[in-house]
Structure 1
Amino acid sequence: MLTEINFDGIVGPSHNYAGLSLGNLASARNFGKVSHPRAAALQGLAKMRANLERGLAQGFLLPQRRPDAAWLERLGTTTAHASATLRANALSASSMWAANAATVSPGPDTQDGRCHLTVANLVTMPHRSHEWTETLAQLRIAFADAAHFAVHAPIPAPFGDEGAANHMRLCARHDAPGIEVFVYGVAGGPFPARQHREASEAVARIHGLDPARTVFARQSDAAIAAGAFHNDVVAVANERVLFTHELAFADRDALYAELRAKLPEIEIVEVPADAVSLEDAIASYLFNAQLVTLPSGEAALVLPGEARDTPAVWRWLERHVAGNGPIRHLFVHDLRESMANGGGPACLRLRVVADPATIDPRFMATAQKLGRIEALVGQLWPESIAVKDLSDPALWNTCLTARSALCAVLELPELDRLPF
């Protein structure tokens, strides 16, 4: 039976605050601070466990091998001899934000009836541009059933593609045909636009989507300038609900009209700028919450603690839930380590609509499996990392050893052996 599964990225042992992401205000603001990889991973795992307990299907993706010595080798250097900037890029744990792993089109939307996944190329940011090789390897293992899945290599450069963070799907039910919305940006402001329309159009063609049920929407310049480096920082969709900031899109009236024509039952929940400013929305990651459907059929938001701590945001949420709006429940989680590096609850997960029985079970979460991961994290993940520690060979060895141990615990030795 088709259901939505959230595949969360397990936070890797090299999680640090090297400030590598231009346009990501939280990443820049916390540059140079001491990170806490163990706490970060445990916070993410706690969110996964809570979603399991809520009756939601939950999977995970493993952290990537860091430092990425193969990437440095292709640049003619090594971990020991690389510049501080290259070394930081080779040690980034940014694959934890699985919303950037790929764009996913479920079987009900595609020409051949299979779920299609195209791995994001992430070419705009050096620290993320080398993630795709291992992401592709993981997805081809997890979704190896060719009768139900097609996993595609990235769109070629120079067309930037940052995956599901710039893609939304609207539908009556997860297992029904949907409207797929690709959100792109246009360069020219103070920060780069990371999603190119050409990349989105290519993904739609590769996935075999019906042009009549595919929408391309431009992100507003104001949102990008305010620090909305991905669409999921200012808008999120789930089934028939679009939850969005008033200033998320360049031409919201035209977009809303097109969506209503294609999906008459759509419910657009727009947060006015005079109630919640773009600055408050981005700082609190209000729209980077997970908008999910509970087993009861009710919609819920899985929010970071920062949303509750931002008065304007929390006032709006409480008013909405107290009224007759479609979002009925608010669940708050401490994800401060991820938030400090610029990623909220929705950044940590990739949504896949599929039959769980068709997925490699090693990537599916259970309470017992999460317990084994938590024990390993508590034993092997560094407690803290300062930026100066990135030059320490002992840290490199710790990170590689911890990841190898995780591959062993999850019975995925092939991920430890692959020559990325």
Structure 2
Amino acid sequence: MDTLILVVIIAVLAVGAAAGLVVTGRRRRQVPPPARRPEPVEPRVGEDAETPRDTPRRTIEDVGPPGTGTGLLEPGAPTAPPAPAPAPEVEVAPEEAAAPPAIEKPEPTAGRLVRLRARLSRSQNTLGKGLLALLSREHLDEDTWEEIEDTLITADVGVAPTQELVERLRTRVKVLGTRTPEELRALLREELVELVGTDMDRSLRTAAHPAAGDGAAARPAVLMVVGVNGTGKTTTTGKLARVLVADGRSVVLGAADTFRAAAADQLQTWGERVGARTVRGPEGGDPASVAFDAVKEGIAEGVDCVLIDTAGRLHTKTGLMDELGKVKRVVEKHGPLDEVLLVLDATTGQNGLVQARVFAEVVNITGIVLTKLDGSAKGGIVVAVQRELGVPVKLIGLGEGADDLAPFEPGQFVDALIGD
């Protein structure tokens, strides 16, 4: 047993000695460590990005102002060229104020419709020349008279006025017997002038009112322009200002269409062209307030006439129509309105009569302005609207030109319809 223990101890010692020899041999053959990869260097900015220098940095105290021996350059080094002298200041003249637009001299209104006759007759030959052609037929049978009625109704004369005119024509043609072209033209002209109406007062009340008493100022005539969207109210108001200036009136414009800033700008441009001042308010402001101020300014300046342009409104919108009534009531605090002009688009035909009826219920319409009459073959709307409202057509628009608004004269209008 003891012998066995001794053998085990000797074996353990032998194993331990052999292990020590192996470890010692490994230490003698040291393997060089693997090369370490350089750690990535983060990019640096500012002073940290500079390469270290061996020379010490110079402080601000060591650096003198440029041009001295203690400057940034070392002694003996070439000096930097001197900075160029500052350029002498040049006085800039203030911008000249924009010159006001030259005031135009509008065409006189007398005879405007005569000058525009050719433009009107080109678009109205369906009514005038068409009737002459039918009446010149050798046999005026029932079919021909029906064609005459259709021509008049197509031109928006209206059913009742058409029937009246045809009956008178039939009677006079029978009595006349012979129908030379000259006789037929004279007959048709006479009947159409009668149909359009010669007994209505078509003058515009634009004369200033004299002072009512001691200390009271004279009051200008006040005209308000109303109508639906798209009929050309603002343009008509501007052209009307030209008509009045051409007739020797002084004018103040009131931009009571506060829903569209462009409308006020447009009206002001029209006024500047003829030397008329425009009173306007903030966009979206109270139109009645602008209208009131326009009349107030007109009184203060002693002008002859104040023109008030109102916002376009659909005749079916009750709220907008009520607002128009408010504008009228506020303006009348200065005095009664002299004219309320309803602008109608001649191309709308019978629909214009519906508009006219509704506006007449809200404000007291005193006159009609028919625009775009040169582009419509529906000249009979002149007859229909007058019959509907009992109100005369006072002005007609015959184009896009600044002076294409003319006073309406029945005889010259009919002459333009049927030609020479």
Q: So what's the TM-score if we normalise by structure 1?
A: 0.26
Question: Which has the higher relative contact order, 1 or 2, with Cα contacts under 8 A spaced 6 or more apart?
Answer: 1
Looking at CA atoms only, which structure, 1 or 2, has the larger radius of gyration?
A: 2
Q: Which is richer in helix?
A: 2
Q: Which is richer in strand?
A: 1
